[in-house]
């Protein structure tokens, strides 16, 4: 099998919290705590988990917008954490990001044409008339009119602004797009339009996506594989179909049970988890999920389960499958 486009190994991000009069490090937030996965060319990997589970930090570390505390990131086989600034700038052209809040990620004082053109200027692509032509093409590509290039972000709806964000990400012809909650701020009807657009663009340009979301139902149709995160760790990675039909990890089961099913005969009971997600500054000993897990055993409070391959080929970190 060919090499994955992106591979991350043992990625960690610890944020020190300083306190007291002397400003000493009083505690450490383990936002991401040893995450490994790979993404193949043309594939979509969904990363799902509740707010604060480390999914966005993982996405940002994968393109080195945040420097990891430990771990490795390989893009096309290159260890990008060891690249010089200029090498990293060149590599960043191949990895683009789409953000959750299209309004916050677009400069309100710039015209849409200028916003989309900017990454091409940064990466020295084409002359000014070539870039303007490409802006028009990109606007058409994402379902907007070239005429909109002269308008400002506030003149667009949320869905249209996200289309502008997508056009901007596509401007430099990236290979990998990391989409961080790209439809969470949109109405449900607009969500599916944007998801369909992302799928069409993927087929057309053989794009690879990492699609980050807090809602399993959103990533279901777009992802080939899904990684579920809890408290800075991946607890299950599986191909999408198997994960949705037969979730293995108790946390995945609980998340899935909260997804509404449009079938009155389906009587799946919702699993209500007790308590809140613990603070990543004080993760529980043993399995990070043990104090909320409905099927926790004695060993769960003592030993950290490792992510292991199960019989059907998925990866699960849970003592139930040891």
Q: Which residues bind ligand SF4 (CB under 6 A)?
A: 250, 287, 289-290, 293, 295-297, 300, 305, 318-320
- The residue among 207 and 293 lying less far from ligand SF4, judged by its C-beta, is 293
CA 12 to chain centre: 16
Tell me the closest approach of the beta carbon of residue 302 to ligand SF4, in angstroms. 10
Cβ-based nearer residue to ligand SF4, 115 or 231: 231
Nearest distance from residue 237's CB to ligand SF4, in Å? Answer: 15
Token pair, residue 292, equals 């909320």
Q: How far is the CB of 216 from ligand SF4 (least distance, A)?
A: 17
Q: What are 134's two structure tokens?
A: 């490409």
Angle, vertex CA 305, rays to CA 303 and CA 307, nearest 5: 160
Pick the closer one to ligand SF4 by CB: 88 or 296.
296
* DSSP conformation letters of 61-114: HHTTSS--SEEEEEETTEEGGG--HHHHHHHHTTEEEE-S-HHHHS-TTS-HHH
| Least Å from the CB of residue 315 to ligand SF4 | 14
CB-based contact 176:94 (threshold 8 Å): yes
Q: Which is nearer to ligand SF4, 125 or 320 (CB)?
A: 320
- Least distance CB 318 / ligand SF4 (angstroms): 3
Report how many helices (DSSP H) and strands (DSSP E) the chain contains, helices first: 10, 12
Cβ 275 to ligand SF4 shortest distance, Å: 13
CB closer to ligand SF4, 3 vs 298: 298
Query: 180 or 248: whose CB is closer to ligand SF4?
Result: 248
CA distance 247 to 251: 9
- Closest approach of ligand SF4 to the CB of residue 259, in Å: 19
C-beta neighbour count of 55 within 10 angstroms: 28
Instruction: Give min distance, CB of 267 to ligand SF4, in A.
Output: 24
Q: Angle, nearest 10°, between helix axes 188-205 and 158-170? A: 20
The token pair at 318 is: 């849970």
Residue with structure tokens 């990400």?
A: 169
Q: Which is nearer to ligand SF4, 256 or 293 (CB)?
A: 293
Q: Which residues contact 9 (CB under 8 A, 6 or more apart)?
A: 36, 71, 72, 73, 74
CA 108/CA 104 separation, integer angstroms:
8
Whether 230 and 49 have beta carbons less than 8 Å apart is answered as yes
Please identify, using beta-carbon distances, which residue of 197 and 320 lies nearer to ligand SF4.
Answer: 320
């Amino acid at each position: 099998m060919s090499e994955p486009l992106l591979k991350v190994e043992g990625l960690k991000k610890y944020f020190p919290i300083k306190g007291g009069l002397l400003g000493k490090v009083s505690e450490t937030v383990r936002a991401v705590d040893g995450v490994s996965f790979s993404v193949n060319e043309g594939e979509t990997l969904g990363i799902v988990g509740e707010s604060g589970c480390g999914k966005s930090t993982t996405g940002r570390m994968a393109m080195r917008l945040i420097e990891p505390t430990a771990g490795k990131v390989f893009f096309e086989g290159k260890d990008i954490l060891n690249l010089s600034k200029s090498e990293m700038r060149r590599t960043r052209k191949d990895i683009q990001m789409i953000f959750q809040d299209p309004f916050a990620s677009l400069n309100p004082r710039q015209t849409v044409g200028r916003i989309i053109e900017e990454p091409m200027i940064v990466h020295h692509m084409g002359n000014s008339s070539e870039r303007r032509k490409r802006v028009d093409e990109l606007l058409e590509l994402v379902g907007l009119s070239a005429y909109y290039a002269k308008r400002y972000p506030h003149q667009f709806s949320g869905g249209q602004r996200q289309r502008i964000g997508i056009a901007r990400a596509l401007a430099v012809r990236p290979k990998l797009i990391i989409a961080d909650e790209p439809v969470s701020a949109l109405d449900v009807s607009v969500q599916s339009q944007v998801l369909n657009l992302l799928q069409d663009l993927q087929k057309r340009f053989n794009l690879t996506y990492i699609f980050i979301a807090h809602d399993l139902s959103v990533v279901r149709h777009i992802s080939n594989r899904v990684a579920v995160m809890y408290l800075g760790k991946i607890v299950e990675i599986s191909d999408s179909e198997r994960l949705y039909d037969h979730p293995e990890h108790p946390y995945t089961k609980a998340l899935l049970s909260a997804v509404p099913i449009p079938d009155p005969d389906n009587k799946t009971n919702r699993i209500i988890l007790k308590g809140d997600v613990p603070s990543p500054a004080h993760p529980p000993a043993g399995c990070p999920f043990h104090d909320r897990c409905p099927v926790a055993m004695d060993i769960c409070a003592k030993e950290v389960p490792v992510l292991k391959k199960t019989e059907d080929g998925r990866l699960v970190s849970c003592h139930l499958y040891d």
